[in-house]
A and B are shown apart, each in its own frame.
Chain A
Amino acid sequence: MAPTGYPLDPRATPGYGAGMSETLDRDVRLAVMRGFVDDERPPSPDELAGSLGVPQIEIEGSLRRLADAHVLVLAPGTPYVWMANPFSAIPTPFRVAAGERRWWGNCIWDALGILAAIGVDGHVSTACPDCGEALEVEVEGATIRGDGIVHYAIPAARWWDDIGST
């Protein structure tokens, strides 16, 4: 992906002003999302540094700002992307398929959100947490088909208290 708006050689201008951070954060977020869509996984910080032409330390700073802003979630204690809603970088019980591509959603909201974000028809497979029975959901255009009921345990105001369990 071509950088969009920051210096061709960022090392020539150490540090970014507030405006440049915003541009970098936008491009990092977009590159993370495109990684999920195209490669079925997020790029690592060194891959982002290479594709955006920015020193890795600047990439890691950007990832932390995005995490602080709840745009994405990093694996605890690391600069590695764990979630960029609706995508999960780690296996979950919410498997999403569209054509040959496969992803994991963080929950049923996100699993369906992957198909919505990309704008494709597809399939979500999960299992009832109570009985283990497979639950299959099909999305075609604006239509959804499948069995089951969605349960929200945690009130909306507390979703970000522990987003991993939400």
Chain B
Amino acid sequence: MLLFRSEEHAERWTAQRRTPHGAFLTLEQQWELSRTWFEGRLDPNFARRTTEEARVVFERIGLAGPFWSLTS
């Protein structure tokens, strides 16, 4: 998960390296995902999310479809 100046920069970089085109998030979407994902990580009884719980987090932020599916 890298931060690029713009989609144009990311597309040039991925094309040069034959890296998959993948998906884009705005910084605001990423901040929402980071906050939702990592809040509580320092709690003593933190437990990793199940695949279903992770799917719910992704969907709430608008990340749906095959790219964001945690099961292949």
Contact = CB atoms under 8 A, between A and B. Distances in A.
A133 B5 contact: yes
B4 A86 contact: no
Contacts, number: 149
A49 interface: no
Nearest to B45: A26
A130 B10 contact: yes
Interface size class of B (residues with CB under 8 A): 35 or more
A146 interface: yes
Interface size class of A (residues with CB under 8 A): 35 or more
12 contacts: A112-B35, A113-B41, A116-B35, A129-B9, A130-B4, A130-B13, A144-B28, A147-B27, A151-B22, A153-B14, A153-B20, A156-B68
Interface of B: 1-7, 9-10, 12-14, 19-31, 33-35, 37-42, 44-46, 48, 58, 66-72
